[in-house]
Structures are given as C-alpha cells and as structure tokens.
Amino acid sequence: MATDFEPRIVGFLCRWCSYPGADLAGTSRITYPPSLRVIRVPCSGRVDPLFVLKAFQDGADGVMVLGCHPGDCHYVEGNYYTRRRYALMHRLLEYVGVERERLLVEWISAAEGGRFAETVTAFTAQVSQLGPWGREGREGRERREGMEGGNGGRRREVS
C-alpha cells in the first residue's frame, strides 16, 4: 500500500463526551494524525446510519462514531440505541463489501484526551492499511475536487 496515502476520515463526535475529549487532547498538546474531519453532533444517538452511508458515498475512507460510555449519556439512553444500530450496521456494511475496519464506533469520555488521540492514530493506521475506499470512492473524490470552489453539488458548508 502506498505510504503517502492519507485517508480521509469523518468523525461524528458527541457534544458531551467525545468532543470535549478531543478538545482535551488539543489543549494537552497531544498530537494525532490530521486525517480526521470532526462533525459535532448533540449525541451519538443523533448519528443516523444514513450519515455514515453519506460519508462513504461521498468518498470518505473511514468513519468514526464516538460517544459517551454506555450509561454516561447526557440524554440518559441515546448511546444505547447507537450501540444497537451500529452493531447491525457493521454487519450490513461488511456484507455489501465495505470492510469492517472502515467504521469505528467507540466510547470516549471528556476526560479521555489521551485515549482519543490513540484511537484516532490507530484508526488512521488501520484505514491506511486498507487504502482508499473503492473505485467509486476515488471517483467521487475526483469529482468533488473538480467541483471545489463552485457549489455544483449543492453541498453546504457545515460550521
């Protein structure tokens, strides 16, 4: 596998645990690969499996869904649903040919800055091993790169 390949990883981080965890990693000056694009969500339960599909459809090489540890959800039960959804989603994606290693669901608390950095580092290495996601992924990426600057794909900036 090409060593200069830097995967594009989309991360859905829960606003109460994993996002502050990522913040902690930053303020603690812990380095981790810049491959991760963070999307902050109110709760890991907000992450509709459709979001993950959309990310893969538009050329992400890997997707992370990070939330509070089960039992610690700010909304009491959001991540229990996440756990069930993604247990199934993992198996379904694997079945249609998306390698299991491209999707990571992990629980990271606001105090686990170090573990956040480790998780991202390990996941980036794992996805780099697999290479870019599919022929379609590469094509999608080329299309998107050709489109950047314009708004051809009706894509909006996410702040």
Partner 1 sequence: MIDKIRAKARELLESGQVYCFIGYEEGTRGRVRPAFVYEPREADRLIWDERCTYNLVAYLHQFQPAFSPRPGGVREVPPRVGILVKPCDSRSLNVLFHEEQVEREGVYVVGLTCQGVKVNGQPQARCQRCAERVPLVYDLVMGGVPKTVGREDYVDVVKLEGMSPGERLAFWMKEFDRCIRCYACRQACPACYCFECVAEQLDPLWMGIAIDLPQKQFFHVMRAYHLAGRCSGCNACEEACPMDIPLSLLNRKIAREVESLFGYKAGQDAQTPPPLATFKKDEELAL
Based on C-alpha coordinates, what's the Rg of the chain? Answer: 16
Count of positions on this chain that bind partner 1 (CB under 8 A): 35
- Nearest Cα to Cα of residue 45 among 81, 90, 88, 89: 81
Contact pick of 94, 115, 118, 121 for partner 1 (by CB under 8 A): 94
* Eight-state DSSP code of residue 150: B
Alpha-carbon gap, residue 68 to 110, rounded angstroms: 8
- The DSSP string of 89-119 is HHHHHHHTT--GGGEEEEE--TT-HHHHHHH
Query: Is residue 81 at the binding interface for partner 1, with CB under 8 A as the rule?
Result: yes
Contact pick of 53, 74, 115, 126 for partner 1 (by CB under 8 A): 53
Q: Convert residues 110-149 into a mask of x (bound to partner 1 by CB under 8 A) and - (unbound).
A: ------------------------x-xx--x---------
Contact pick of 9, 63, 68, 93 for partner 1 (by CB under 8 A): 93
The residues of the shown chain that bind partner 1, judged by CB under 8 A, are 49-50, 53-54, 56-57, 70-71, 77, 80-81, 83-99, 105-106, 134, 136-137, 140, 154
